[in-house]
Structure 1
Amino acid sequence: MARPRKFDEQQVLRSATETFWTSGFAATSLDDLMRTTGLGKGSLYGAFGDKQALFQRVLDGYCADAAAGLRERLSGPESSSAARIRTLFDMMVAAASGSSGPPRACLLAKSTAELAATNADVAARAQQTFATIADLLQAEVESAQAAGDIPADRNARRTAHHLLAVLRGMEALTEAGMDESVLRDAADAALMAVGLRPEGQ
Protein backbone atom coordinates (compact mmCIF):
# COMPACT_ATOMS: atom_id res chain seq x y z
CA MET A 1 0.00 0.00 0.00
CA ALA A 2 1.43 3.37 -1.02
CA ARG A 3 2.25 5.79 1.75
CA PRO A 4 0.25 9.03 1.80
CA ARG A 5 2.28 12.07 0.80
CA LYS A 6 3.36 14.24 3.71
CA PHE A 7 3.89 17.45 1.75
CA ASP A 8 1.78 20.11 0.10
CA GLU A 9 2.07 19.39 -3.63
CA GLN A 10 0.93 22.86 -4.64
CA GLN A 11 3.50 24.49 -2.36
CA VAL A 12 6.21 22.30 -3.86
CA LEU A 13 5.12 23.35 -7.36
CA ARG A 14 5.16 27.00 -6.32
CA SER A 15 8.70 26.63 -4.99
CA ALA A 16 9.82 24.81 -8.12
CA THR A 17 8.19 27.49 -10.27
CA GLU A 18 10.14 30.20 -8.48
CA THR A 19 13.38 28.27 -8.92
CA PHE A 20 12.93 27.59 -12.63
CA TRP A 21 11.69 31.14 -13.19
CA THR A 22 14.75 32.64 -11.52
CA SER A 23 17.42 30.41 -13.01
CA GLY A 24 15.93 28.87 -16.14
CA PHE A 25 15.71 25.15 -16.90
CA ALA A 26 19.33 24.36 -17.75
CA ALA A 27 20.84 26.29 -14.83
CA THR A 28 18.52 24.71 -12.26
CA SER A 29 20.05 21.63 -10.68
CA LEU A 30 18.42 18.81 -8.78
CA ASP A 31 20.18 20.12 -5.67
CA ASP A 32 18.54 23.52 -6.26
CA LEU A 33 15.13 21.92 -6.45
CA MET A 34 15.73 19.79 -3.37
CA ARG A 35 16.83 22.87 -1.42
CA THR A 36 13.93 25.11 -2.42
CA THR A 37 11.19 22.50 -2.18
CA GLY A 38 12.50 20.83 0.96
CA LEU A 39 12.09 17.39 -0.61
CA GLY A 40 14.67 14.67 -1.09
CA LYS A 41 15.52 13.19 -4.45
CA GLY A 42 13.33 10.14 -3.92
CA SER A 43 10.29 12.21 -2.96
CA LEU A 44 10.73 14.59 -5.88
CA TYR A 45 11.12 11.81 -8.42
CA GLY A 46 8.37 9.74 -6.86
CA ALA A 47 5.87 12.59 -6.97
CA PHE A 48 6.81 14.42 -10.15
CA GLY A 49 9.18 12.26 -12.19
CA ASP A 50 12.47 13.66 -13.45
CA LYS A 51 13.51 17.31 -13.78
CA GLN A 52 11.95 17.61 -17.23
CA ALA A 53 8.61 16.25 -16.01
CA LEU A 54 8.61 18.62 -13.04
CA PHE A 55 9.42 21.56 -15.30
CA GLN A 56 6.57 20.61 -17.62
CA ARG A 57 4.18 20.59 -14.64
CA VAL A 58 5.45 24.03 -13.67
CA LEU A 59 5.09 25.43 -17.19
CA ASP A 60 1.64 23.90 -17.66
CA GLY A 61 0.47 25.48 -14.41
CA TYR A 62 1.95 28.85 -15.28
CA CYS A 63 0.34 28.86 -18.72
CA ALA A 64 -3.04 27.82 -17.34
CA ASP A 65 -2.88 30.64 -14.78
CA ALA A 66 -1.87 33.16 -17.45
CA ALA A 67 -4.80 32.22 -19.67
CA ALA A 68 -7.20 32.27 -16.72
CA GLY A 69 -5.91 35.69 -15.68
CA LEU A 70 -6.49 37.13 -19.13
CA ARG A 71 -9.94 35.54 -19.30
CA GLU A 72 -10.82 37.20 -15.98
CA ARG A 73 -9.36 40.52 -17.14
CA LEU A 74 -11.49 40.41 -20.27
CA SER A 75 -14.66 39.61 -18.33
CA GLY A 76 -14.91 43.09 -16.82
CA PRO A 77 -15.58 45.31 -15.00
CA GLU A 78 -15.56 47.65 -18.01
CA SER A 79 -18.87 48.09 -19.76
CA SER A 80 -17.73 47.18 -23.27
CA SER A 81 -15.26 44.98 -25.12
CA ALA A 82 -13.65 48.10 -26.58
CA ALA A 83 -13.00 49.44 -23.09
CA ARG A 84 -11.62 46.09 -21.93
CA ILE A 85 -9.19 45.96 -24.86
CA ARG A 86 -8.05 49.53 -24.11
CA THR A 87 -7.59 48.68 -20.44
CA LEU A 88 -5.49 45.65 -21.33
CA PHE A 89 -3.09 47.87 -23.27
CA ASP A 90 -3.18 50.53 -20.54
CA MET A 91 -2.09 47.90 -18.02
CA MET A 92 0.88 46.98 -20.20
CA VAL A 93 1.89 50.64 -20.38
CA ALA A 94 1.47 51.07 -16.61
CA ALA A 95 3.80 48.12 -16.00
CA ALA A 96 6.64 50.17 -17.50
CA SER A 97 6.30 52.80 -14.78
CA GLY A 98 6.41 50.39 -11.82
CA SER A 99 8.32 51.78 -8.86
CA SER A 100 10.18 48.51 -8.34
CA GLY A 101 11.62 48.59 -11.84
CA PRO A 102 10.76 46.53 -14.93
CA PRO A 103 9.14 43.15 -14.19
CA ARG A 104 11.17 40.03 -14.75
CA ALA A 105 10.66 38.09 -17.94
CA CYS A 106 7.45 36.09 -18.28
CA LEU A 107 8.18 32.44 -17.52
CA LEU A 108 6.53 31.38 -20.79
CA ALA A 109 8.66 33.79 -22.83
CA LYS A 110 11.80 32.80 -20.95
CA SER A 111 11.13 29.09 -21.36
CA THR A 112 10.23 29.44 -25.03
CA ALA A 113 13.46 31.32 -25.76
CA GLU A 114 15.53 28.72 -23.92
CA LEU A 115 13.86 25.47 -24.92
CA ALA A 116 11.30 25.67 -27.72
CA ALA A 117 13.84 24.98 -30.46
CA THR A 118 14.92 21.71 -28.85
CA ASN A 119 11.97 20.63 -26.71
CA ALA A 120 8.79 19.72 -28.56
CA ASP A 121 6.69 19.66 -25.39
CA VAL A 122 7.65 23.21 -24.46
CA ALA A 123 7.07 24.41 -28.02
CA ALA A 124 3.64 22.76 -28.09
CA ARG A 125 2.64 24.29 -24.74
CA ALA A 126 3.72 27.74 -25.88
CA GLN A 127 1.78 27.44 -29.13
CA GLN A 128 -1.30 26.20 -27.30
CA THR A 129 -1.15 29.07 -24.82
CA PHE A 130 -0.71 31.73 -27.49
CA ALA A 131 -3.60 30.19 -29.46
CA THR A 132 -5.79 30.40 -26.34
CA ILE A 133 -4.85 34.04 -25.84
CA ALA A 134 -5.61 34.75 -29.49
CA ASP A 135 -9.03 33.10 -29.09
CA LEU A 136 -9.82 35.31 -26.10
CA LEU A 137 -8.74 38.44 -27.96
CA GLN A 138 -10.74 37.42 -31.02
CA ALA A 139 -13.89 37.08 -28.93
CA GLU A 140 -13.39 40.62 -27.62
CA VAL A 141 -12.75 41.95 -31.12
CA GLU A 142 -15.93 40.31 -32.43
CA SER A 143 -17.90 41.74 -29.51
CA ALA A 144 -16.46 45.20 -30.19
CA GLN A 145 -17.40 44.81 -33.86
CA ALA A 146 -20.97 43.89 -32.91
CA ALA A 147 -21.12 47.06 -30.81
CA GLY A 148 -19.79 49.16 -33.68
CA ASP A 149 -16.52 50.03 -31.93
CA ILE A 150 -14.27 48.16 -34.39
CA PRO A 151 -15.11 48.25 -38.11
CA ALA A 152 -17.09 45.20 -39.15
CA ASP A 153 -14.96 44.68 -42.25
CA ARG A 154 -11.85 43.87 -40.21
CA ASN A 155 -10.89 40.20 -40.07
CA ALA A 156 -11.36 39.38 -36.39
CA ARG A 157 -8.79 36.57 -36.34
CA ARG A 158 -6.09 38.61 -38.01
CA THR A 159 -6.89 41.54 -35.73
CA ALA A 160 -6.53 39.29 -32.68
CA HIS A 161 -3.16 38.07 -33.93
CA HIS A 162 -2.06 41.68 -34.43
CA LEU A 163 -3.05 42.57 -30.87
CA LEU A 164 -1.31 39.47 -29.50
CA ALA A 165 1.92 40.30 -31.31
CA VAL A 166 1.90 43.90 -30.07
CA LEU A 167 1.14 42.87 -26.49
CA ARG A 168 4.01 40.37 -26.47
CA GLY A 169 6.31 42.95 -28.01
CA MET A 170 5.30 45.52 -25.39
CA GLU A 171 6.04 42.98 -22.69
CA ALA A 172 9.55 42.46 -24.06
CA LEU A 173 10.12 46.23 -24.22
CA THR A 174 8.93 46.61 -20.63
CA GLU A 175 11.32 43.90 -19.45
CA ALA A 176 14.14 45.74 -21.25
CA GLY A 177 13.36 48.90 -19.27
CA MET A 178 12.08 51.02 -22.17
CA ASP A 179 10.52 54.36 -21.30
CA GLU A 180 6.79 54.43 -20.65
CA SER A 181 6.32 56.84 -23.56
CA VAL A 182 7.54 54.16 -25.99
CA LEU A 183 4.97 51.72 -24.63
CA ARG A 184 2.25 54.36 -24.83
CA ASP A 185 3.06 55.05 -28.48
CA ALA A 186 2.98 51.34 -29.28
CA ALA A 187 -0.34 50.86 -27.50
CA ASP A 188 -2.01 53.85 -29.14
CA ALA A 189 -0.76 52.86 -32.59
CA ALA A 190 -2.01 49.28 -32.16
CA LEU A 191 -5.46 50.43 -31.04
CA MET A 192 -5.77 52.86 -33.94
CA ALA A 193 -4.54 50.25 -36.40
CA VAL A 194 -7.43 47.94 -35.54
CA GLY A 195 -9.95 50.77 -35.60
CA LEU A 196 -10.07 51.62 -31.89
CA ARG A 197 -9.15 55.18 -31.05
CA PRO A 198 -7.42 55.64 -27.68
CA GLU A 199 -9.77 57.26 -25.16
CA GLY A 200 -9.79 61.03 -25.34
CA GLN A 201 -8.88 61.14 -29.03
Structure 2
Amino acid sequence: MARPREFDRDTALDKAMQVFWAKGFAATSTDDLIQAMGIGRQSVYNAFGDKKQLYMEALGAYQRRTVGGHLSRLNAPASPIQGISDLLIGLTSEEDARRALGCMGVGSVGEFGISDPALVEQRARIGTLLGTRIAERIREGQATGEILPDLDPAEIAGFIQMTMTGLQLAARAGASAADLTTLARFTIDRLRPA
Protein backbone atom coordinates (compact mmCIF):
# COMPACT_ATOMS: atom_id res chain seq x y z
CA MET A 1 0.00 0.00 0.00
CA ALA A 2 1.34 3.43 -0.98
CA ARG A 3 2.00 5.88 1.80
CA PRO A 4 0.02 9.13 1.63
CA ARG A 5 1.95 12.31 0.93
CA GLU A 6 3.16 13.96 4.09
CA PHE A 7 3.30 17.47 2.67
CA ASP A 8 1.03 19.98 0.99
CA ARG A 9 1.87 19.91 -2.73
CA ASP A 10 0.70 23.49 -3.41
CA THR A 11 2.77 24.86 -0.53
CA ALA A 12 5.84 22.94 -1.70
CA LEU A 13 5.31 24.22 -5.26
CA ASP A 14 5.03 27.79 -3.99
CA LYS A 15 8.30 27.43 -2.09
CA ALA A 16 10.02 26.04 -5.20
CA MET A 17 8.62 28.95 -7.21
CA GLN A 18 10.15 31.43 -4.76
CA VAL A 19 13.59 29.83 -5.16
CA PHE A 20 13.43 29.69 -8.96
CA TRP A 21 12.14 33.27 -9.06
CA ALA A 22 15.03 34.54 -6.95
CA LYS A 23 17.84 32.45 -8.46
CA GLY A 24 16.71 31.32 -11.92
CA PHE A 25 16.73 27.77 -13.23
CA ALA A 26 20.45 27.16 -13.72
CA ALA A 27 21.57 28.64 -10.39
CA THR A 28 18.99 26.66 -8.41
CA SER A 29 20.29 23.31 -7.22
CA THR A 30 18.17 20.34 -6.26
CA ASP A 31 19.48 20.80 -2.72
CA ASP A 32 18.19 24.42 -2.76
CA LEU A 33 14.76 23.10 -3.71
CA ILE A 34 14.74 20.30 -1.14
CA GLN A 35 15.73 22.70 1.62
CA ALA A 36 13.17 25.36 0.64
CA MET A 37 10.35 22.88 0.08
CA GLY A 38 11.08 21.02 3.30
CA ILE A 39 10.66 17.58 1.71
CA GLY A 40 12.97 14.75 0.76
CA ARG A 41 14.66 14.30 -2.60
CA GLN A 42 12.56 11.27 -3.53
CA SER A 43 9.36 13.11 -2.58
CA VAL A 44 10.34 15.94 -4.94
CA TYR A 45 10.89 13.48 -7.78
CA ASN A 46 7.71 11.52 -7.03
CA ALA A 47 5.51 14.61 -6.79
CA PHE A 48 7.05 16.87 -9.45
CA GLY A 49 9.38 14.84 -11.66
CA ASP A 50 12.81 16.25 -12.42
CA LYS A 51 14.06 19.78 -11.82
CA LYS A 52 12.94 20.99 -15.26
CA GLN A 53 9.39 19.66 -14.77
CA LEU A 54 9.25 21.34 -11.38
CA TYR A 55 10.47 24.60 -12.93
CA MET A 56 7.85 24.45 -15.68
CA GLU A 57 5.09 23.84 -13.15
CA ALA A 58 6.36 26.59 -10.85
CA LEU A 59 6.62 29.04 -13.77
CA GLY A 60 3.11 28.13 -14.90
CA ALA A 61 1.75 28.77 -11.40
CA TYR A 62 3.64 32.07 -11.25
CA GLN A 63 2.30 33.16 -14.64
CA ARG A 64 -1.31 32.28 -13.79
CA ARG A 65 -1.05 34.26 -10.55
CA THR A 66 0.62 37.32 -12.03
CA VAL A 67 -1.49 37.45 -15.19
CA GLY A 68 -4.59 37.18 -13.01
CA GLY A 69 -3.36 40.25 -11.14
CA HIS A 70 -2.51 42.05 -14.39
CA LEU A 71 -5.98 41.41 -15.81
CA SER A 72 -7.66 42.44 -12.58
CA ARG A 73 -5.84 45.80 -12.55
CA LEU A 74 -6.46 46.29 -16.26
CA ASN A 75 -10.17 45.47 -16.08
CA ALA A 76 -11.20 46.98 -12.72
CA PRO A 77 -11.60 50.68 -13.59
CA ALA A 78 -14.33 51.81 -15.96
CA SER A 79 -11.78 54.12 -17.58
CA PRO A 80 -9.61 52.21 -20.09
CA ILE A 81 -6.66 54.58 -19.71
CA GLN A 82 -6.85 54.19 -15.93
CA GLY A 83 -6.89 50.41 -16.35
CA ILE A 84 -3.74 50.53 -18.47
CA SER A 85 -2.15 52.91 -15.97
CA ASP A 86 -3.07 50.59 -13.08
CA LEU A 87 -1.61 47.66 -15.02
CA LEU A 88 1.78 49.36 -15.48
CA ILE A 89 2.05 51.11 -12.12
CA GLY A 90 0.88 47.96 -10.36
CA LEU A 91 4.00 46.14 -11.54
CA THR A 92 6.11 48.16 -9.12
CA SER A 93 6.34 46.90 -5.57
CA GLU A 94 7.12 49.46 -2.90
CA GLU A 95 9.03 46.72 -1.05
CA ASP A 96 12.67 46.82 -2.22
CA ALA A 97 13.37 43.09 -1.85
CA ARG A 98 10.24 42.05 -3.74
CA ARG A 99 10.78 44.66 -6.47
CA ALA A 100 14.37 43.44 -6.94
CA LEU A 101 13.07 39.98 -7.87
CA GLY A 102 11.67 41.41 -11.10
CA CYS A 103 9.50 38.93 -12.99
CA MET A 104 10.06 35.18 -13.07
CA GLY A 105 8.63 35.05 -16.59
CA VAL A 106 11.00 37.73 -17.86
CA GLY A 107 13.81 35.89 -16.07
CA SER A 108 12.94 32.73 -18.00
CA VAL A 109 13.23 34.66 -21.27
CA GLY A 110 16.66 35.91 -20.26
CA GLU A 111 17.77 32.44 -19.24
CA PHE A 112 16.28 30.31 -22.04
CA GLY A 113 15.45 32.74 -24.88
CA ILE A 114 13.78 30.67 -27.58
CA SER A 115 15.81 27.50 -26.96
CA ASP A 116 13.02 25.63 -25.16
CA PRO A 117 9.88 25.11 -27.28
CA ALA A 118 7.69 24.31 -24.26
CA LEU A 119 8.64 27.60 -22.58
CA VAL A 120 8.13 29.53 -25.82
CA GLU A 121 4.66 28.03 -26.19
CA GLN A 122 3.79 28.73 -22.54
CA ARG A 123 4.91 32.36 -22.85
CA ALA A 124 3.02 32.79 -26.13
CA ARG A 125 -0.25 31.65 -24.55
CA ILE A 126 0.10 34.07 -21.65
CA GLY A 127 1.31 36.92 -23.87
CA THR A 128 -1.56 36.48 -26.32
CA LEU A 129 -4.15 36.44 -23.54
CA LEU A 130 -2.83 39.65 -21.98
CA GLY A 131 -2.12 41.37 -25.30
CA THR A 132 -5.63 40.71 -26.58
CA ARG A 133 -7.20 42.28 -23.50
CA ILE A 134 -4.88 45.31 -23.60
CA ALA A 135 -5.84 45.88 -27.26
CA GLU A 136 -9.53 45.70 -26.30
CA ARG A 137 -9.02 48.32 -23.59
CA ILE A 138 -7.17 50.53 -26.10
CA ARG A 139 -10.14 50.30 -28.49
CA GLU A 140 -12.50 51.15 -25.62
CA GLY A 141 -10.35 54.17 -24.78
CA GLN A 142 -10.33 55.29 -28.40
CA ALA A 143 -14.13 55.05 -28.52
CA THR A 144 -14.44 57.25 -25.43
CA GLY A 145 -11.76 59.73 -26.56
CA GLU A 146 -9.32 58.85 -23.74
CA ILE A 147 -6.73 57.37 -26.14
CA LEU A 148 -5.45 58.79 -29.41
CA PRO A 149 -7.69 57.48 -32.20
CA ASP A 150 -4.97 57.03 -34.82
CA LEU A 151 -2.97 54.46 -32.82
CA ASP A 152 -3.14 50.82 -33.86
CA PRO A 153 -4.52 48.88 -30.84
CA ALA A 154 -2.48 45.74 -31.54
CA GLU A 155 0.75 47.73 -31.93
CA ILE A 156 0.10 49.68 -28.74
CA ALA A 157 -0.72 46.47 -26.87
CA GLY A 158 2.65 45.09 -28.00
CA PHE A 159 4.33 48.31 -26.88
CA ILE A 160 2.64 48.11 -23.47
CA GLN A 161 3.79 44.51 -23.06
CA MET A 162 7.38 45.45 -24.01
CA THR A 163 7.17 48.31 -21.54
CA MET A 164 6.09 45.81 -18.88
CA THR A 165 9.15 43.70 -19.68
CA GLY A 166 11.41 46.74 -19.51
CA LEU A 167 9.97 47.84 -16.18
CA GLN A 168 10.50 44.36 -14.72
CA LEU A 169 14.09 44.20 -16.00
CA ALA A 170 14.78 47.65 -14.59
CA ALA A 171 13.32 46.53 -11.26
CA ARG A 172 15.62 43.49 -11.24
CA ALA A 173 18.54 45.82 -11.99
CA GLY A 174 17.73 47.92 -8.92
CA ALA A 175 15.56 50.75 -10.23
CA SER A 176 13.64 52.59 -7.53
CA ALA A 177 9.88 52.48 -7.22
CA ALA A 178 9.76 56.20 -8.02
CA ASP A 179 11.77 55.76 -11.24
CA LEU A 180 9.62 52.84 -12.40
CA THR A 181 6.41 54.73 -11.67
CA THR A 182 7.72 57.74 -13.61
CA LEU A 183 8.44 55.52 -16.63
CA ALA A 184 4.98 53.95 -16.42
CA ARG A 185 3.32 57.39 -16.30
CA PHE A 186 5.45 58.60 -19.23
CA THR A 187 4.20 55.64 -21.28
CA ILE A 188 0.56 56.31 -20.40
CA ASP A 189 0.88 60.00 -21.26
CA ARG A 190 1.98 59.04 -24.80
CA LEU A 191 -1.48 57.46 -25.37
CA ARG A 192 -3.54 60.49 -24.37
CA PRO A 193 -4.83 63.12 -26.82
CA ALA A 194 -3.08 66.47 -26.40
Q: Provide, for residues 102-132 of structure 1, a one-character-per-residue CA deviation record: whole Å limited to 9, x for no partner.
A: 5322111112211234322222222322222
Q: Kindly, what percent of the aligned residue pairs are identical?
A: 27
| Secondary structure of residue in 1 paired with 2:75 | coil
Q: Which moved more, 1:57-66 or 1:141-150?
A: 141-150
- Alpha-carbon spacing, 1:133–1:23, altered in 2? closer, same or farther (3 Å): same
Report the residue type matching 2:146 in the other structure.
D
| Secondary structure of residue in 2 paired with 1:74 | helix
Structure-2 residue corresponding to 1:170: 167
TM-score after normalising by structure 2? 0.85
Structure-1 residue corresponding to 2:149: 152
Structure-1 residue corresponding to 2:60: 60
The Cα shift of 1:55 comes to: 0.7
| Secondary structure of residue in 2 paired with 1:19 | helix
TM-score after normalising by structure 1? 0.82
Structure 1: gaps (5+ residues): none
Q: Does the CA contact (< 8 Å) of 1:150 and 1:195 recur in 2?
A: yes
The Cα shift of 1:11 comes to: 0.6
The Cα shift of 1:182 comes to: 4.9
Report the residue type matching 1:37 in the other structure.
M
| Secondary structure of residue in 2 paired with 1:129 | helix
The Cα shift of 1:4 comes to: 2.9
Residue 122 of structure 1, aligned match among 119, 124, 140: 119
Q: Does the CA contact (< 8 Å) of 1:134 and 1:164 recur in 2?
A: yes
The Cα shift of 1:14 comes to: 0.9
Structure 2: gaps (5+ residues): none
Write the mapping of 1:103-142 to structure 2, written as runs, cut at 5 A.
103-142=100-139
Q: Distance in 1 between matches of 2:104 and 2:25?
A: 11
Number of residue pairs matched?
193
Report the residue type matching 1:87 in the other structure.
D
Report the residue type matching 1:8 in the other structure.
D
Report the residue type matching 1:81 in the other structure.
P
Write the mapping of 1:29-40 to structure 2, written as runs, cut at 5 A.
29-40=29-40
Report the residue type matching 1:153 in the other structure.
D
Report the residue type matching 1:106 in the other structure.
C
Q: Distance in 1 between matches of 2:167 and 2:173?
A: 10
The Cα shift of 1:7 comes to: 1.3
